[in-house]
Structure 1
Amino acid sequence: KIAGDKRTEDDIAMLRQEREYLNVLLVEQPDTDFAYTMARQFLFDVYHFLFLAELQKSTDLTLSAIAKKSIKEVSYHQRFSSDWIKRLGDGTEESHKRMQTAINDLWTYTDELFHQTEADKAMVKEGIGVDVTKLKEAYYKNVSDILEESTLEVPESKYFQKGGKQGIHSEHMGYILAELQYMQRAYPNMEW
């Protein structure tokens, strides 16, 4: 009971209200088509790899161990999504156009990856968490390098969406939660 109360893992995962989920808006964007799916995955994978690389240094031995164990898998995901970005970006005229559109549309959600909440700041201060603000330069360099190799342009937009880390979500979050929480809401107290 990590939360210190009577809630189970299922309660925490499936029975919270929308505002109780604290995630970046990027991960709740819909799978419009394969280009969007791969672009969203790529933009998150680059961040996730950098994050885990730093989390390995955590003073919390459990978090450090999880990061060390996970980074190999995340490295694979980053390679996989990067390969698709290259394949579609430098592919046909149609695949290039679709991938550029997806990157352009999802770009506005990338800056939130580097925003710190008060909890993030407290975790950094204790040596437990990752200072995500220090990942920003490497992130945009890595992403830009892959986009350039893929013959895709780095979006010039300076406007970025944020709010997910504070529980303010896009309209897509409701659909995700409706699917995630259906069984627990339809059959209360169901045990798996």
Structure 2
Amino acid sequence: MTASDTQQATRQYAVRLGDDALILGHRLSEWCSNGPFLEEDLALTNVALDFIGRARMFYGYAAELTGGDCTEDTLAYQRDCREFRNLLLHELPIGDFAFTMARQYLLDEYTLAFMQQLQQSADATLAAIAAKSVKESRYHLRRSHDWMLRLGDGTPESHERMQKALEQLWGYTHELFDMDALEQELAEAGIAVDCAALQPAWERSVRATLAEATLALPTAEWAVRGGRNGIHTESLGHLLSELQFVQRAYPGLSW
């Protein structure tokens, strides 16, 4: 790739990572004032803020590479759902607390490994964002891992709810490890993470946690993909209608 091609590809990559963080952060923010108890309400809100902050860093870098009048707000508030490139797992509704924590655990195992690899990126800005994110991701994983054990090996009802959540989520996890042409090229250039290479270790960690939590690994053979191509569930449109309402109602407003 030419230097211009690399810059454009890196911009798209940063937007993807920003989309993942923004959408998951918004989903987690929906627990604010709705948590099962006060301490967890505050903890989930703080985790949501970590992801929103991460989205700002990725979007800010993408805006810098874009130039002109593009800002992080442009990318967050002025794109339609088909222009978003987040993985589908991030946009699913929060469901009950078991669903949220099961999703969070599956993503936290992935995200920590991903950010540890992104620290080695040849792109200094992406590497710096990853270095900051690793510290947060370790805390996120510790929390969600504890909740997997607490709910999976808890009461019969909590176990049942957690198992049901895993069955509903499992088919969306395959997309985490897909590599399209853009990511392949950036990975070969030492900029992007080779997601496919993360899968074996992720599966080992997940299997060990589920066994400890007395939960069964889902066996249903189904998979849903499309997020990186802008093909989303209906849930994303509803999420964006709330997230982007003020900017769409009062375009260009600043405060």
Given the two structures, how large is their TM-score scaled by the length of structure 1? Answer: 0.97
> How far did 1:14 drift?
0.8
> How far did 1:186 drift?
1.0
123, 126, 129: which one pairs with 2:192? 129
151, 161, 169: which one pairs with 2:232? 169
109, 112, 119: which one pairs with 1:49? 112
CA RMSD, 1 decimal: 1.0
Is residue 2:239 matched to residue 1:179?
A: no
69, 72, 76: which one pairs with 1:9? 72
Is residue 2:187 matched to residue 1:144?
A: no
For 1:141-178, what per-residue CA distance to the aligned partner results, in whole angstroms no more than 9, with x for missing partners?
A: 11111111000000002211100111100111011101
Partner Cα distance (2:126, 2:69) in 1: 23
Amino acid in structure 2 at the alignment position of 1:163: G
Partner Cα distance (2:184, 2:143) in 1: 32
Aligned to 2:205, the other structure's residue is in SS state helix
Partner of 1:94: 157
For 1:18-44, what per-residue CA distance to the aligned partner results, in whole angstroms no more than 9, with x for missing partners?
A: 111001110011111000110111111
Partner of 2:171: 108
102, 127, 149: which one pairs with 1:64? 127
Partner of 2:51: none
Partner Cα distance (2:226, 2:68) in 1: 27
For 1:66-99, what per-residue CA distance to the aligned partner results, in whole angstroms no more than 9, with x for missing partners?
A: 2122111101101100100110000000000000
Percent same amino acid among aligned pairs?
Answer: 48
5+ long unaligned stretches in structure 1? none
Amino acid in structure 2 at the alignment position of 1:122: E
Q: Within 5 A, what are the aligned runs for 1:71-90?
A: 71-90=134-153
Amino acid in structure 2 at the alignment position of 1:148: A
Q: Which moved more, 1:37-46 or 1:91-100?
A: 37-46
Aligned to 1:59, the other structure's residue is in SS state coil
Aligned to 1:109, the other structure's residue is in SS state helix
Partner of 2:181: 118
Aligned to 1:108, the other structure's residue is in SS state helix
Partner Cα distance (2:180, 2:236) in 1: 20
> How far did 1:47 drift?
0.5
Which is bigger in relative contact order (C-alpha 8 A, separation at least 6)? Answer: 1
Aligned to 1:43, the other structure's residue is in SS state helix
Q: Which moved more, 1:128-137 or 1:64-73?
A: 64-73
Count of residue pairs brought into register by the alignment = 192
Partner Cα distance (2:203, 2:139) in 1: 19
Given the two structures, how large is their TM-score scaled by the length of structure 2? Answer: 0.73
Amino acid in structure 2 at the alignment position of 1:190: L
